[in-house]
Every structure is written in structure tokens, then in C-alpha cells.
Amino acid sequence: MKYVLLFAGNMSAEDRARDPELAAQYERTSKWFAEHMQSGKIVGGEELKGPETATTVRFHGGKPMLIDGPFIEAKEIIGGFALVDVADLDEALEMAKSWPGGNVEVRPVVDH
């Protein structure tokens, strides 16, 4: 059985540079990831860029509409994720619009 863990909260590089406590916390999450990757429990996962970079595709009467920003309603549960490697946002949005399962939030991944 597989699970997707979606972590709440974003921490930018600037936040970490400003606050050593945040930097330490970030360090701990990196370590947590490294350990579980090594044990083989994590098969894929990424740190996402901030919510201000998100675009949401919402379906109104079957028609896809783009909204600048992440999911707003707290009741919306993230049911899974696909990591896609495409040329640009338009291509990613095209895939999201063809998704048969409901609303999709598209977020770029941090390039380490």
C-alpha cells in the first residue's frame, strides 16, 4: 500500500536566512527525508514552492477555469499527486484540465 504525505506549511529560503530556528527545523525535515529515503519508505516526494506560485484548475459546469492561487476551501482534501516533467506551466495546465477526477492544484517544484 502506498501513501502520499502532503506537508502543510511553506518555508522560503529567505525565511530560513532570517530565522536560525526555522533553519534548524528545515534541517531536521531534510534529515527525516534522507533517513526514510535510505530505508526505502519514501519512493517519491518533493518540496513545493510557495502557495503564491500555485494555479488551481476549477471545473464550473464541466468547464475548466484557471485561478491564481492554491486551493482555498479547507475541506478540500488532497487525494494524491503526480510528479510531471514538462516544458512549462501551459503544458502542466493542459494535463490538469484533462484530469477526470475533479479540481487540481498545479505547483512548481523547488529545483535543488
CB of 89 to other proteins, least distance (A): 5
Residues 6+ apart with CB under 8 A from 37: none
Number of residues that bind other proteins (CB under 8 A): 15
Asked if 55 touches other proteins (CB under 8 A), the answer is yes
- Decide: 39 and 83 in contact? Cβ < 8 Å: no
User: Shortest distance, CB of residue 63 to other proteins, whole angstroms?
Assistant: 10
Say how far apart CA 97 and CA 64 lie, in whole Å.
Answer: 6
Q: Is 90 in the site for other proteins (CB under 8 A)?
A: yes
Which one of 19-27, 30-38, 39-47, 52-60 is the stretch in contact with other proteins (CB under 8 A)? Answer: 52-60
Q: Can you read off the three cell numbers belonging to residue 18?
A: 532570517
C-alpha cell of 1? Answer: 500500500
**C-alpha R_g of the chain:** 16
Q: Are 83 and 95 in contact (CB under 8 A)?
A: no
- Identify which of residues 11 and 106 has a Cβ nearer to other proteins in the complex: 106
Does 52 sit near other proteins (CB under 8 A)? yes
In the window 57-86, what residues touch other proteins (CB under 8 A)? 66, 68-69
Contact residues: other proteins, CB under 8 A: 49, 52-55, 66, 68-69, 87-90, 93, 106, 108
